[in-house]
């Protein structure tokens, strides 16, 4: 997993709970990297799981809630780094359909070692999109947060329904 995910996560933890919490979850997680991340490096995604689990234990907040909140924040950081991906896009569901078709394709060119999920999109109506997420990393909660972050970015409200399918995919139904 790319270092930007780790650095953004630890910055958010510092902002919300302070540097002592950052030190304490790094200690707790017994990380191979030692917790020294650079934005351009690549690290084992299990380290992220360990850090979030440690934060959950310390704060008493469920892992899923932490990942959703982190995803919302992460979207703001990603789009700030690549504002060009939203240029000319007016509709949040057009933007979300573009994640698989365009954004992650470009991300892969920029960072060939990025590990990206797969999305299949089914645009039901102008205001209703169904996205099927699949990834060996099973970051469904992070994905929900990223979807929410993009809706906030476009200043639109939506109902998001989720369903875990038997084949391992997660179905996200997004209705504006
Ligand atoms: C400006 C827009 C975006 C950029 C630049 C971007 C870029 C990235 C990058 C750099 C990663 C990390 C890859 C790695 O760690 O190796 C990532 C992962 C991911 N992205 Fe995006 N992304 C964007 C928008 C979105 C949106 C809107 C969604 C949700 C629909 C999304 C879903 C995900 C998920 C779930 C992952 C985690 C990896 C996995 O599940 O296997 N991304 N993205």
2: left (phi over 0), alpha (psi -120 to 50) or beta: beta
Torsion of CA 167, 165, 132, 124, to 10 degrees: 130
Does the pLDDT value for residue 147 go beyond 90?
A: yes
**Dist CA 55 CA 167 (whole Å):** 30
pLDDT > 90: what percent of the chain? Answer: 94
**Protein residue with its CA nearest to atom 17 in ligand 1:** 116
Q: Could you tell me the CA-to-CA distances from 75 to 9, 21, 25, 57 in Å, in that order? A: 12, 23, 23, 25
Pocket test for ligand 1, best of 52, 85, 99, 169 (most atoms within 8 A of CB): 99
Question: In 10 A of CB 26, how many CB atoms?
Answer: 21
Residue 107, CA atoms < 13 Å, CB-side half-sphere: 22
| Residues 107-136: tens digit of each pLDDT | 999 999 899 999 999 999 999 999 999 999
* Residue 26 binned pLDDT confidence (cut-offs 50, 70, 90): very high
pTM, 2 dp? 0.95
Q: Where does the chain show beta strands of DSSP type E?
A: 118-125, 128-134, 159-164, 170-175
Hey, what CATH topology would domain 89-175 get?
Answer: H-NOX domain (3.90.1520)
Q: How many CB atoms lie within 10 A of CB 153?
A: 16
Ligand 1 site-directed mutation target among 87, 102, 107, most atoms within 8 Å of CB: 107
Decide: 99 in ligand 1 pocket, CB within 6 A. Answer: yes
């Amino acid at each position: 997993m790319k270092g930007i995910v780790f650095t953004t996560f630890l910055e958010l933890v510092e902002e919300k709970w302070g540097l002592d919490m950052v030190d304490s979850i790094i200690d707790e997680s017994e990380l191979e990297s030692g917790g020294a991340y650079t934005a351009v490096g690549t690290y084992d995604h299990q380290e992220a799981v360990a850090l979030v689990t440690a934060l959950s234990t310390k704060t008493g907040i469920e892992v899923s809630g932490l990942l959703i909140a982190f995803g919302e924040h992460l979207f703001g950081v990603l789009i700030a780094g690549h504002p060009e991906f939203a240029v000319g896009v007016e509709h949040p569901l057009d933007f979300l359909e573009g994640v698989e078709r365009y954004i992650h394709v470009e991300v892969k060119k920029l960072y060939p070692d990025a590990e990206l999920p797969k999305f299949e999109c089914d645009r039901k109506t102008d205001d209703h999109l169904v996205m099927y997420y699949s990834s060996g990393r099973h970051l469904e909660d992070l994905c929900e947060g990223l979807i929410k972050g993009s809706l906030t970015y476009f200043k639109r409200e939506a109902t998001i329904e989720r369903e875990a399918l038997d084949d391992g995919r997660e179905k996200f139904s997004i209705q504006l």
